[in-house]
Chain A
Amino acid sequence: MKHLLSTSELTRDDALLILDTATQLVTATGQGVGKLPPLRGRTVVNLFYEDSTRTRISFEAAAKRLSADVINFAAKGSSVSKGESLKDTALTLEAMGADAIVLRHHASGAANTLAHSGWISGSVVNAGDGTHEHPTQALLDAYTLRQNLRGGEGDLAGLTVTIVGDILHSRVARSNVHLLKTLGANVRLVAPPTLLPIGADTWGVETSYNLDEALEGADAVMMLRIQQERMNAAYFPTIHEYSARYGLNQARVARMKPNAIVMHPGPMNRGVEITAEVADGPQSVIVQQVANGVSVRMAVLYLMLGGSEA
């Protein structure tokens, strides 16, 4: 694996190799506390053009647990704010010997551009590009589903996963749709008509405007964050109304299977898309998702950088 740009390019075997590697890494580190040597001498650059706390920290922790050197590059306060282009920044990082660049960018397709530009020789991991994809989030979600509902082995065949919220702008949703389908799960997308992309019904998923119906018999629900900037952009009348129709509360959780799990990629708007009671409830795996994020990103970095140069 040279780059990780999109979950749509992962085969079932690729995806299972990443998930299995993550599983082995958890035990190899003595339940995730130890430090492993395979990336000693490798340099991983976190190149973040957008604000992010958990994704950047998660990649940083993952790289450090594999003994890589980590350079964090936030666009704010760097020469990017003086107008430096992605190309010149990339050339600089290449000259400094980056073996992998973890890129978060506001433009859809930025990671793809960087990977195929010829500006760098190292690997590129897409850590979120515009409204396009966020593949490691989908992988950690798949890992969490498998851990809770499939005994930590194999694929997700037969599971029904309901994804709720701003599907239109969500790279998390797009990456999850590809990966969940590759792993055999059934996907239901639920959103107000204004936040469901045109043509989503051709993605091989069920779509609905009705959350109550779409939760019936589901094995898991993924709540997406309603982004502040969308709240006043007339996609829905009021936050209160959104919350009433598309917010997850205890009564709605009860519509799913008894052992169903509640997921959220964070950061949460408590009281908007999810009630505090559900977020902190027994079926919530939101904290587990964060821990699994580190393991899955370790697996991705190991598979990219752990062997000989591709």
Chain B
Amino acid sequence: MTPTQARVVLDSADISRALTRLAHEILERTHGGEAVTLMGIPTRGVALANRLAERISEIQGAPIPVGSLDVTMFRDDLRMKPARALLPTQIPDSGIEGRIVVLVDDVLYSGRTIRAALDALSEHGRPQAVQLAVLVDRGHRELPIRADYVGKNLPTSKSESVQVQLVEHDDVDQIVIRQES
């Protein structure tokens, strides 16, 4: 892959501003966020959920519950690859029963991950409502799923890949689009 085929579409400051706006939107739409529980989808959704939780608690002055939800076993393409390692699921002590659960992921694409997440979530209780926050919506949905909060709409072609890189995992905050060969 030559560098000309990869372009940075959002840098660290862009990501930071997008997350701040998402935090405000979540608070506005949930009337102060008192019932909100953030659930990140591993791997990068968890880092994003933690950052959103930090911003929301800074704005509101009170911590908000945040956890992680692994969807691997609920995927519809499980049988298409060798068994995949499971990732951590961590339900906050307050649970999800009756909460407004905001699922957090890095990229929304086919929608299949989110469908799996809805099934995974139902193992742990019945939330009052489930919403979806993503840093990037790149289109090409294959299921009737949409995000409630979008950091950035990125029109892409299916031959491109969108990669969200975060300091927690990649030593840098940026979003890169690559042409797949």
Q: Which residues of A are in contact with B by a Cβ distance under 8 Å?
A: 1, 17, 20-21, 24-25, 27-30, 34-38, 302-308, 310
Shortest A1–chain B CB gap in Å is 8
Instruction: Establish whether residues A302 and B74, one from each chain, have CB atoms under 8 Å apart when the complex forms.
Output: no
Instruction: Establish whether residues A308 and B87, one from each chain, have CB atoms under 8 Å apart when the complex forms.
Output: no
CB contact under 8 A between A20 and B78, given known A27-B90, A28-B70, A37-B73: no
CB contact under 8 A between A37 and B83, given known A24-B88, A28-B70, A302-B73: no
- List 19 additional A-B contacts (Cβ < 8 Å) besides A306-B84, A307-B82: A17-B85, A24-B86, A24-B88, A27-B89, A27-B90, A28-B89, A28-B120, A29-B123, A30-B91, A36-B73, A36-B123, A37-B74, A302-B86, A303-B83, A306-B83, A307-B78, A307-B81, A307-B83, A308-B81
Instruction: Establish whether residues A25 and B86, one from each chain, have CB atoms under 8 Å apart when the complex forms.
Output: yes
Q: A20 CA to B84 CA in the complex, in Å?
A: 12
Write the chain A residue with the least CB distance to B87: A24
Q: A308 CA to B83 CA in the complex, in Å?
A: 7
Write the chain B residue with the least CB distance to A42: B79
Instruction: Establish whether residues B90 and A306, one from each chain, have CB atoms under 8 Å apart when the complex forms.
Output: no
Q: How many inter-chain contacts with C-beta < 8 Å in the A-B complex?
A: 59
List 27 A–B pairs whose Cβ atoms lie within 8 Å, in order of A's numbering. Answer: A1-B83, A17-B85, A21-B86, A25-B86, A27-B88, A27-B90, A28-B86, A28-B89, A30-B91, A30-B123, A30-B125, A34-B123, A34-B124, A36-B74, A36-B123, A37-B73, A38-B78, A302-B83, A302-B86, A304-B83, A306-B73, A306-B83, A307-B79, A307-B83, A307-B84, A308-B79, A310-B82
Instruction: Establish whether residues B85 and A37, one from each chain, have CB atoms under 8 Å apart when the complex forms.
Output: no
Shortest A255–chain B CB gap in Å is 38
Instruction: Establish whether residues B70 and A24, one from each chain, have CB atoms under 8 Å apart when the complex forms.
Output: yes
Residues of chain B with a CB closer than 8 A to A29's CB: 123
Q: A307 CA to B78 CA in the complex, in Å?
A: 6
Write the chain A residue with the least CB distance to B71: A28
Shortest A305–chain B CB gap in Å is 8
Query: Which residues of B in the span 120-154 have a Cβ within 8 Å of any Cβ on A?
Result: 120, 123-125
Is B160 close to A, CB under 8 A?
A: no
Is B34 close to A, CB under 8 A?
A: no
Instruction: Establish whether residues B85 and A20, one from each chain, have CB atoms under 8 Å apart when the complex forms.
Output: yes
Is B1 close to A, CB under 8 A?
A: no
Interface residues on B, range: 20 to 34
Is B80 close to A, CB under 8 A?
A: yes
Residues of chain A with a CB closer than 8 A to B168's CB: none
Q: A78 CA to B173 CA in the complex, in Å?
A: 63
Write the chain B residue with the least CB distance to A303: B83
Shortest A236–chain B CB gap in Å is 45
Shortest A278–chain B CB gap in Å is 34
Instruction: Establish whether residues B119 and A37, one from each chain, have CB atoms under 8 Å apart when the complex forms.
Output: yes
Q: A305 CA to B82 CA in the complex, in Å?
A: 9
Residues of chain B with a CB closer than 8 A to A302's CB: 73, 83, 86
Query: Which residues of B in the span 63-118 have a Cβ within 8 Å of any Cβ on A?
Result: 70, 73-74, 78-91
Q: A303 CA to B81 CA in the complex, in Å?
A: 12
Closest A-B pairs by Cβ, 9 of them? A307-B83, A24-B86, A306-B83, A307-B82, A38-B73, A34-B123, A27-B89, A28-B89, A303-B83
Q: A28 CA to B69 CA in the complex, in Å?
A: 8
Residues of chain B with a CB closer than 8 A to A21's CB: 85-86
Query: Which residues of B in the span 1-57 have a Cβ within 8 Å of any Cβ on A?
Result: none
Write the chain B residue with the least CB distance to A17: B85
Interface core residue of B85, B86, B119 (most chain A CB under 10 Å): B86
Shortest A60–chain B CB gap in Å is 19
Q: A258 CA to B73 CA in the complex, in Å?
A: 40
Q: A35 CA to B74 CA in the complex, in Å?
A: 11
Residues of chain A with a CB closer than 8 A to B90's CB: 27
